[in-house]
Amino acid sequence: MHYSISQVATMAGVSARTLRHYDEIGLLTPAAVSSNGYRWYGRSELRRLQRILLLRDLDVPLPQIDAVLAGDDDEASALRRHLTIVTAERDRLDRIAATITRTLDDLEGGDRLPDEEFFRGLDEGRSQLAATLEERFGNAAAGTVQTGTTHTARWTRDDYDQAAADGRELYARLSRARRSGVDPTSVRALDLIAEHHEAVRAVWPVDPAAYHALADLIETDPQQRDVVGAEDPDLPLWLATAVRAYAVRRLDHG
């Protein structure tokens, strides 16, 4: 049985545009294309799409997915490898979740998190950020995380706590501006974003291009979006727009 591109898109929870893109780059070729240009997919294409989406869920870049699938010798062994990857990722996220839980207990007056555990959690967070930057912007962008780590090498736990408190206070002011209807590209908003830019530079030496790119992470990266939108789910989009405007108007990006 063959399915149309719209049927496959509905079943897989992706857009038809995504499926057309996969076809254009040779990642997922339809079983047949009719004379009117309609794409049709069979069961083997659905299985391949499943593997593609599994790897995308693990944030594997599309070129690497193509290489992984090209090396698959049979479907069962490929799925076993995917299961190993998924299980390892689950375990990694469980470790990060446990660290966050212990940190919350510490902040809310429960058992104090040992300092070595506190900094281990920070290291895991940095590693995740570096991986995200490398995938989206290349090795040079990921290297800036290490430079930022050097900048904060002498920080104590109190320094990190103060930076976190300052960040929450800044996000609260940004949220109040957003809720009051301040245009994210206005002078008033950009004056506030100047504080955000300085706070970012204190821990991560971003240049204008990197700061502009940060807006994409604020909008789309779950970790960054959760931090920014912890108290105001609509703040990430507003802040991303303001960051882009600041990079262009105040930092002469582009």
Summarize pLDDT for 172-181 with one digit per residue, the tens.
999 999 999 9
Nearest CA among 181, 175, 168, 184 for reference residue 240: 184
**DSSP at 114:** P
> Does 132 fall in a domain?
no
For 177, the domain range is: 153-249
Domain boundary among 70, 104, 128: 70
Question: Does 200 reside within a domain?
Answer: yes
Among 23, 53, 70, residue at a domain's last position: 70
pLDDT tens sequence across 92-143? 777 777 666 666 665 555 555 555 444 454 455 555 555 655 555 555 555 5
CATH of the domain at 56: 1.10.1660.10
Instruction: Provide the number of structural domains found in the chain.
Output: 2
- How high is the pLDDT of residue 212? 87
Tell me the C-alpha distance between 107 and 163, whole Å. 14
Which of 38-52, 83-97, 204-218 shows the lowest mean pLDDT across its residues? Answer: 83-97
Task: Find the CATH number of the domain harbouring 195.
Answer: 1.10.490.50
**Over the stretch 49-61, which tens digit does the pLDDT of each residue have?**
988 888 787 767 7
Strands, E, within the chain: which ranges? 3-4, 32-33, 39-41
Q: Which of 30, 53, 70 is the last residue of a domain?
A: 70
Look at residue 57 and tell me if it is in a domain: yes
pLDDT in the model for residue 4: 94
Beta sheet of 39-41, edge-to-edge order: 3-4, 39-41, 32-33
What is the model's pLDDT at position 231? 85
